[in-house]
Amino acid sequence: MHAKTVTVKLDKHCYDIIIGPDLITQAASQIKHSLHQKDFHQMRVALITDANIASLHLDTLEAELTKNKIHTVPIVVEAGEQSKSFSTLQTVIDKILATRLERGDCVIAFGGGVIGDLGGFAASIIRRGMNFIQMPTTLLAQIDSSVGGKTGINSQYGKNLIGTFYQPRCVISDTCLLDTLPLREFRAGYAEMVKYGLINQPDFFEWLEKNGQKVFSNGSIRTEAIIRSCQFKADIVARDEHETGERALLNLGHTFGHMLETATIYDSNRLIHGEAVAIGMILAHQLSAQLNLINSTLTHRIETHFKAVGLPTQLKDIPGTLPDAETLMTLIAQDKKVSQNNLTFILTRGLGQSFIAKNISSNTILTFLEQKLAEIR
């Protein structure tokens, strides 16, 4: 099967997302093409990756680049959300500056969402912006975090509170890398795929209901699902690069999701991002039902599909105890989707009919959370 290309069309520049099998073993020519480099003489790239990906795939990628005379500087960070920190950012930046990489050299983020966010942020602020390429290795990163140019790290006050908008020169998504992805991680990425259906593509949700199990196998259905997802996200980003409008729809399930991730202190044993978003989307639908926007049968339908693929759907699926409703509210209020104390949520009026709901009162949310917590106690 040949690689397919989805183009992200932005005001100032376009870039390609290349999707297909075995791209890692052909990466050099793609990098050359994207950076408009005539030859690789003296070209240097920093390969930012995590310990898991390094043990599985770094040798292969380094061999491909070295064979093609690209000098590589591997920078391996600890796997997991805790690497989206100020201290890891500083370490990565210091290593890149120590090797004297220049603006025209390149930073490659070779990993999942954490590596893409961290590597992209570093690339965006070193020398006020170096060349940057995404090579996402997880389903979540391939369909979501590598597309659209959001970069960042976490703060003690919340997730992704420090970062930039910074677009890569290209995204190289080797679907074969997904074969080594743990099932739980694959499921978490799948939740974001379902999100695209729930936002405004009811057909895609129905297609996933039919084909969901096949997306979990390494065939053409998986690749098709990735291409459709990238195309959807690329279109939204093209229309609203800096999230002044409809891009906020991508936050469906994310305000509740971030709240849950913070409440579980980013402990991946308890919850990973896509799982938090799955539960968050169910909560957003339940809230929509409570506000009489939808019938609760829609929520049940989505729950059924999530359960069929093994995703969590409710607060009681999270191991350990959660803080009380007022503490959860504090976490929401610090989230970046807050504007002048009127809460903004992505709610829905039906399957694939999500919308940006402003001026949701804190009391509405507090009461809703109290009720949800009461159900599990």
Answer yes or no: 150 catalytic: yes
Which residue among 84, 273, 305, 372 is the active-site one?
273
CB nearer a copy of itself, residue 93 or residue 221: 93
CB 112 within 8 A of CB 137: yes
Q: How far is the CB of 250 from a copy of itself (least distance, A)?
A: 14
CB nearer a copy of itself, residue 99 or residue 218: 99
Closest Cα to residue 146, out of 191, 105, 109? 109
Dihedral sign computed on CA atoms, order 241, 243, 247, 250: positive
Q: How far is the CB of 248 from a copy of itself (least distance, A)?
A: 12
Which residue among 44, 254, 285, 372 is the active-site one?
254
| Helix-helix angle 362-375:325-334, to 10 degrees | 130
Answer yes or no: 233 catalytic: yes
Answer yes or no: 184 catalytic: no
Which residue among 57, 195, 258, 305 is the active-site one?
258
Q: Give burial (CB, 10 Å; 0-12/13-18/19+) of 332.
A: buried
Which residue among 81, 185, 192, 303 is the active-site one?
192
Backbone angles phi, psi at 346, to 5 degrees: -95, 115
CB nearer a copy of itself, residue 81 or residue 185: 81
Q: How many residues does the chain have?
A: 377
Question: Parallel, antiparallel, or unpaired for β 4-9 and 71-77?
Answer: unpaired
Which residue among 222, 247, 285, 305 is the active-site one?
247
CB nearer a copy of itself, residue 90 or residue 361: 90
CB 36 within 8 A of CB 70: no
Is 138 annotated as belonging to a binding site? yes
Answer yes or no: 301 catalytic: no
Q: How far is the CB of 101 from a copy of itself (least distance, A)?
A: 11
Q: How far is the CB of 128 from a copy of itself (least distance, A)?
A: 5
Answer yes or no: 273 catalytic: yes
Is 197 annotated as belonging to a binding site? no
What residues make contact with a copy of itself under the rule CB under 8 A? 42, 86, 90, 93-94, 97-98, 100, 102-104, 121, 124-129, 150, 152, 155-158, 161-165, 242, 333-334, 336, 338-341
The CA distances from residue 17 to 23, 197, 231, in Å, are: 12, 20, 9
Q: How far is the CB of 108 from a copy of itself (least distance, A)?
A: 19
CB nearer a copy of itself, residue 47 or residue 92: 92
Question: Parallel, antiparallel, or unpaired for β 170-174 and 338-339?
Answer: unpaired
Residues 21, 36, 167: CA angle, nearest 5 degrees? 70
The CA distances from residue 118 to 6, 57, 76, 91, 140, in Å, are: 23, 19, 12, 11, 15
Answer yes or no: 247 catalytic: yes
Q: Rounded distance, CA 324 to CA 25, Å?
A: 50
Write out the binding residues for Zn(2+).
192, 254, 273
Q: Any idea which residues carry the catalytic annotation? A: 128, 150, 192, 233, 243, 247, 251, 254, 258, 273
Binding residues for NAD(+): 113-117, 137-138, 150, 159
